[in-house]
Amino acid sequence: MLVNTSPSSNSSCGQNAESKRRRNIKNGFESLRTLIPELSDQSNVKISKAQMLDFTANHIQRTIDLRDKMKAEVDSIQHENEQLQQKIAEYQSSLPVDGIPVIQPTRRSREASYALFHQYVAERTKKSWQFYPYSLILKRIFDTFQNTVTCDSADEFMRSLNEWKTNSLNL
């Protein structure tokens, strides 16, 4: 195989290589102009290649900083998620095997009526402090009512109410 080593052939190959290199550099800067937001906004303004490279370096640095910040946030959220998962597991392991204990309806209604009684006393005492001594007497009557009267059925309610009235409301 014969290779043409004439001076004119070497210079034309060198010129082609140089022109290809310059075209690649020009295409690279055009790509930067379209990819970097600061450069694409200034499409009509003439910017030197050094300024373009400076804008590109700044953009890359901001992007890296943003990525690092987001990675730290993701790590923080993952850590928080792991802690919450651990707490959930602890709470689940502390639950009774049979589920949540069922509170008897009578106990629940007693707790609710005690809460309503205390709320009533607090409201009336705020209006007039003189109600407080009266509420102490009412509390005793209310306690006997709570312990005597049952609300399982209408008949049971009437029977227990009459029993409470005759036994507890005498002077």
Range of the domain at 149: 105-168
Q: Among residues 91, 120, 150, which one ends one of the domains? A: 91
73-113 pLDDT, tens digit per residue, is 999 999 999 999 999 999 888 887 776 666 565 566 777 87
Residue 54 lies in a domain: yes
**Average pLDDT rounded to a whole number, residues 39-65:** 85
Residue 38 lies in a domain: yes
pTM for this entry = 0.44
Alpha carbon of 152 to those of 111, 132, 156, 167: distances in Å?
16, 32, 6, 20
Q: How many residues does the chain have?
A: 171
Number of structural domains the chain divides into: 2
Residue 96 lies in a domain: no
Residues 29 and 65 both lie in one domain: yes
